[in-house]
Amino acid sequence: MNEFRNGDLVFDVRDEGPEGGDLVILLHGFPETKASWNRVVPLLTAAGYRVLAPDQRGYSPRARPQGRRAYVADNLVADVLALADAAEADRFHVVGHDWGGAVAWYAAMWEPQRLKTLTSLATPHPKAFSRSLLTSTQLLRSLYFLAFQLPALPERMLTSDFGRRRFRTALTRSGLPEEAVDSYLVALSGKDAMTAVLNWYRAAALTPPRRQTAVSVPTLYVYGTKDIALGPKAADRTREYVNGPYRYERLDSSHWLPEEEPDAVARLVLEHVGS
């Protein structure tokens, strides 16, 4: 399929691999698109898996509802389930990076009967993240998160010529390859697109902490030791919030694991989903 629907929203999706293969859904983060998985997908399909990589809510041009409440975690998880339903898959493997990792965690918390395995790249369990804010350097690393809460100003900055140059420099210095940066910034060049993806940050506080529960789904968590956005404290504490089988791997890499370490990511995912 090239697209799927959830209600009135239409999402673009990459669909590769044998139709009857075990399903793996790949969820990108900010400011990525499904192109972040370009070097991972062939390695998974070569192993016999069917892979679906969508442009998520706000990133797909026909799936940009207005208002931050449209981007609460419940809706983001519902999009993933709608994709699995469109593929006629009762159960599936989910792999998420950055914000896609957060969606994967919530799917495992709230819909464990639908998931075969969970893999999160870079993103710790949400409760491990929140509990690390005041006990580590995480709050300083997350100041941009607070800045994104401001109305209108962040998107004006990020879509201006000056702001785009600063944003591009920040992304490349954090380890994201230049060609990927250019691709993602083109996809988010319009103010409506930037507002939509920033609404993920603005909606984050609308998920009550009491709904951040431990997961029982078999879990692989992969952390890059050079990650400037997410610190090691939350990464190390994530184990406390997984009741099922758990594997924790650290790579000598930046935050951008799918782009920087596609071979290692694919190897770890294949070991996990095949175990």
Among candidate residues 22, 98, 184, 223, the one labeled active-site is 98
- Give the separation between CA 209 and CA 97, rounded to whole angstroms: 21
Contact 209, 133 (CB under 8 A): no
Among 65, 73, 67, 80, smallest CA distance to 27 is for 80
Among candidate residues 201, 221, 223, 241, the one labeled active-site is 201
Neighbours of 58 (CB within 10 A): 25
Bridge partners, 221 (sequence order): 120, 248
Active site residue 28: no
Among candidate residues 28, 125, 255, 272, the one labeled active-site is 255
Among 47, 32, 54, smallest CA distance to 257 is for 32
Active site residue 201: yes
Instruction: Enumerate residues 6+ apart whose C-beta is below 8 A from 68.
Output: 199, 202, 203, 206
Contact 180, 259 (CB under 8 A): yes
Catalytic residue ranges: 98, 201, 255
